[in-house]
Structure 1
Amino acid sequence: MGKITLLQGDITKVSAEAIVNAANSSLLGGGGVDGAIHRVGGPAILAECQIIRNRQGGCKVGDAVITKAGNLPADYVIHTVGPRWQDGHHGEDELLRSAYLNCFKIIDEYDIKTVFFPNISTGIYHFPKERAANIALEVITRCLRENANIERVNLVCFDADNYNLYSALMAE
């Protein structure tokens, strides 16, 4: 898939221009990748997130905001809030699509060339992994077509299930 790379590992350890955080709407850290990014990134990320919260009251599901990366080996963290899976009849697909699209708006605005995405909403938010992977690949492929400045989109899968799923989908 040309400019899309698949990795298995810990997104907090990748040297990057930008990483994406599967955040919650409070922007104050939480479980999963969000908690890990806040722990490793340190208080600088939290301080910027608090400024954003004070300005706009957090981050809505499907939206994205950007901060510096604190102690992470990255320049920026793009925080996006994916949807919690309910039953597929509450706009979950569109909200997940929106989360990815809003990340790409920030990528474009900041002229980011390389970005690393986690598997948004598939952990504690229980979005079905295959459904989420198809949406992610659809949006990423479209955004790469529309923005020639992006050099690489890296998908970082923490678990083997997501890695194997993306690997199979990307081989099709």
Structure 2
Amino acid sequence: MKAKILISACLMGFKVRYNGSEKSPMTEQLRRWRSEDRLVIHCPELAAGLATPRLPAELSGGDGAAALSGLACILESDGSDVTQAYLLAAWLALKTAQEAGCQFALLTDGSPTCGSQKIYDGQFKGVTQAGQGVAAALLRQHGIEVFAEHQSAALAQRIAQFERNQDDLL
């Protein structure tokens, strides 16, 4: 069974980030996975109807798991509460991953939606802290393994292990 990966659209060169940019040039590993038809390209924020460009948003009062539980919120830099839009983004990411049969996700770190290792601290001063965004948290809660963009080598190893285990079951 070929592992499928939900991937942040900005990592594939789409200019969908809050400031209208892409995250980084596509790596050789991403090109290989794309040619193997493993990638499910998705931008949760665009799927939820958020515009590009849009104001920066950060989690306030906790991380994505706290926001999913109603204990934290997501605010834009002007103070607007956009929690509901970002929660919708998380649920749409989960729906997309499940419908496509994704076992893994490779997401953009730092994002209030996709951050899997770190998020911004909610003060809009460029300071990060350990934590996860709402989509990363929701995907993990539903058994999808989430990796940050700088963890593609670890993801490649995990996919190889997953596929060996699948072959052993056959």
TM-score bin, normalised by smaller chain: 0.3 to 0.5
Where relative contact order (Cα < 8 A, 6+ residues apart) is larger, the structure is 1
Return the TM-score normalized by structure 1: 0.41
Return the TM-score normalized by structure 2: 0.41
Larger Rg: 2
